[in-house]
Structure 1
Amino acid sequence: MQNDNSKLMNEVSTVASILVKDVDETKLMLRLEEILSNYDIKRKTELELEEDLPEKVELFIDAKRLEGLSNLTLQGYWIELNMFHKFLRKATVQINTVDIRKYLSSNSEWSPGTIDKKLSVLKTFFGWLMNEEIILKNPASKVKSPKQPKRLPKGLGIEEMEILRESCVDNRERALIETLYATGCRLAELVNMKITDINFNENSAKIIGKGNKERVVYFTFKSMYHLKKYINERKGNSEYVFCSIRHPYNKVTGRSIERLINKISARTSIKKNIHPHIFRHTMATHMMENGAELADVQHILGHDNPSTTLVYSHVSEERKKQAHKRFLVS
């Protein structure tokens, strides 16, 4: 039975014979034996090989943290890669394109959007491993993204917005609805908004968005009116705009805001799925329908790529009809 040194020598010799033509295997084996006699080599067990992926994931997360990615993004990376590891249980260097395709097709309930998100994480992870020279090639690079159905973001109509407003039972709920709609903030951006970030004279606020980038968002007079009422009456001295209603009045979590919006929505007859992000869709859609320039909406939403904002560029049938009458010469 071969010891670990002999196994390593044979493996190195095989690789060398592939890379170098006319290699003298006898001399190579003798030289390797001479070198390896100075070392005590132990071959990793199958379990040790399988468990090396979490170690690589930790290195990846640490590197991305140094690049300034948000904790929310890092948590998303960790969750996705942990799911991949539980499915595969394979040494990182042995993972191939087939493995990734099997994983992405393993759950029939995953939508094309979910699969695309998972694939994006895997491409980023294995691309980083390749750049760090931990692996020789990215096994996810040849996997194509699934075709996405063309769906327009579902916002709320003006009447539906009024129904939600009228369904609020206190200033906290009303301020929340108005702030989400007026600023177009993402949920995490709203959660982390501090009172000191708000310029009450200019009806604006500085927020930190995706990629740790700062931008300015704006309030309407109506939203600022309700926000001031809420801030003036709330208890505690939290530095954050929206805090809990009980001592010690900590910053609200994203889940708390989701639950609160669900409560407001339950009081209405609106059939749509009401969630925090729908107000962002609604604000962008209403702005575009009222004639706002695409570039302006892009900067207000904090989109790096104009194509991301382009999904809001659809217009109502009535607006298209009026534009046709106005601009087409008979």
Structure 2
Amino acid sequence: MYDADKRIQYSGFSTHTLNAYALQLKMLIGGIGDLEIEEITLDLLKGYLSKQSDRLKPSSLGHRVRFVRSLFRFAFEEGHISRNPALKLREPKTDKRIPKFLIEEDVIHLKISCESPREYAMLEFLYSTGCRVGEVQKLDIEDINLENCSAIVNGKGAKQREIYYTTECKIWIKRYLESRDDSCKALFVTETQPARRMSIPTIRYSLKKLASRSNVAVNVYPHRFRHTYACQLLDNGAPLEFIQGMLGHEKASTTQIYAQVRGERRRELYRRYF
């Protein structure tokens, strides 16, 4: 019943979200046993979560706690249990991590190491839009407006937003599209025949190959471009409200972490160059 409720509630959401709920439920049953739901106590739930705490990061344990609270809140509100045993569960405290970004030198090394129009276009798009990898993967050619350097992306929670990219990015997208002879509607496709929409792992692998070729020392992955994009906007004086809208963050607190980046960015540059 809980699974059906979430599938209705998150009907527009990524299947990854729904699969994550199903997996959490399976792990919970495996951890405490397939008991009658009225038998579940706060102590049982705490015992289950404490066993996970040794091998999970606080952020991952927090996800598990939120799932358990959500499940039993649903069961209580729907009248399946007379009391909510998860009511007093608290999430672990987590350290706010400074987002990892790429410095300008890294980006230049990556650019000059590109060997195909697809690599150029993908790199420029990630760098100049700050899109999530899932948003880029889902893009179709028809979502791109080359005249005004914009695109419509489908973000988290099936929320659409308009994003913008640079003239340099526009040039490489045009070159990439002109180099293709397939009929696939996806913006980024595989180089195999027949061409298919690139998967998220394939996009990640393509960036790893590019990073290896360019001898960039830091770890290069799609989300790092998102952090770099936000840092660059911040460095150029963009207000946090604007950055929040461009990144598609629902909560201002998610964007707030970039306010800590200025000092960290200076320290990072100092460490790398002194």
The Cα offsets for residues 17-48 of structure 1, whole Å up to 9 and x where unpaired, read as xxxxxxxxxxxxxxxxxxxxxxxxxxxxxxxx
Contact between 1:60 and 1:125, CA under 8 Å: does it hold in 2?
Answer: no
Match of 1:104 among 34, 49, 52: 49
1:64 matched residue in structure 2: 9
Q: Distance in 1 between matches of 2:181 and 2:64?
A: 42
Contact between 2:99 and 2:261, CA under 8 Å: does it hold in 1?
Answer: no
The SS at the match of 2:214 is coil
Matched pairs, number: 264
2:254 matched residue in structure 1: 308
Match of 2:228 among 282, 291, 294: 282
The Cα offsets for residues 192-220 of structure 1, whole Å up to 9 and x where unpaired, read as 11111111111001111111111011111
1:132 matched residue in structure 2: 78
Say yes or no: does 1:235 pair with 2:175.
Answer: no
1:18 matched residue in structure 2: none
**Structure 1, 122-131 or 145-154: larger mean CA deviation:** 122-131
Q: 1:143 to 1:195 in 2, by over 3 A?
A: same
Q: How far did residue 313 of structure 1 move?
A: 1.5
Unmatched segments (≥5 aa) in structure 1: 1-55, 321-330
CA RMSD of aligned residues (A): 2.0
Q: 1:32-181 alignment to 2 at 5 Å?
A: 56-66=1-11, 68-91=12-35, 92-107=37-52, 108-181=54-127
Q: Distance in 2 between matches of 1:250 and 1:236?
A: 9
Contact between 1:294 and 1:309, CA under 8 Å: does it hold in 2?
Answer: yes
Unmatched segments (≥5 aa) in structure 2: 267-274
Q: How far did residue 75 of structure 1 move?
A: 1.5
Contact between 1:88 and 1:99, CA under 8 Å: does it hold in 2?
Answer: yes
Q: How far did residue 181 of structure 1 move?
A: 1.4
Q: How far did residue 318 of structure 1 move?
A: 10
Q: Distance in 2 between matches of 1:138 and 1:270?
A: 51
Q: 1:139 to 1:171 in 2, by over 3 A?
A: farther
Q: 1:221 to 1:137 in 2, by over 3 A?
A: farther
Q: How far did residue 237 of structure 1 move?
A: 1.1
Q: 1:221-260 alignment to 2 at 5 Å?
A: 221-260=167-206
Contact between 2:100 and 2:227, CA under 8 Å: does it hold in 1?
Answer: yes
2:271 matched residue in structure 1: none
Q: 1:233 to 1:85 in 2, by over 3 A?
A: same
Contact between 1:57 and 1:81, CA under 8 Å: does it hold in 2?
Answer: no
1:33 matched residue in structure 2: none
The Cα offsets for residues 252-282 of structure 1, whole Å up to 9 and x where unpaired, read as 1111111111111222333322211111111
2:272 matched residue in structure 1: none
Q: How far did residue 141 of structure 1 move?
A: 2.6
- Higher relative contact order structure (alpha carbons within 8 Å, sequence separation ≥ 6): 2
1:14 matched residue in structure 2: none
Structure of greater Rg: 1
Q: 1:318 to 1:106 in 2, by over 3 A?
A: closer
Contact between 2:151 and 2:164, CA under 8 Å: does it hold in 1?
Answer: yes
**Structure 1, 93-102 or 184-193: larger mean CA deviation:** 93-102
Contact between 1:156 and 1:279, CA under 8 Å: does it hold in 2?
Answer: yes
The Cα offsets for residues 213-257 of structure 1, whole Å up to 9 and x where unpaired, read as 110111111111111111111231111101111122111111111
Of all paired residues, the percent bearing the same amino acid is 32
Q: Distance in 2 between matches of 1:136 and 1:234?
A: 61
Q: 1:193-204 alignment to 2 at 5 Å?
A: 193-204=139-150
The SS at the match of 1:225 is helix
> Letter of the aligned partner of 1:235 in structure 2?
D
Q: How far did residue 312 of structure 1 move?
A: 0.9
Contact between 2:96 and 2:257, CA under 8 Å: does it hold in 1?
Answer: no
Q: Distance in 1 between matches of 2:219 and 2:41?
A: 39
The Cα offsets for residues 111-140 of structure 1, whole Å up to 9 and x where unpaired, read as 111111221222222222222222233333
Q: 1:318 to 1:276 in 2, by over 3 A?
A: closer
Q: Distance in 2 between matches of 1:181 and 1:299?
A: 17
Q: 1:158 to 1:71 in 2, by over 3 A?
A: same
Contact between 1:96 and 1:139, CA under 8 Å: does it hold in 2?
Answer: yes
Q: Distance in 2 between matches of 1:272 and 1:93?
A: 51
Moved over 6 A (4+): none
Q: Distance in 2 between matches of 1:99 and 1:69?
A: 31
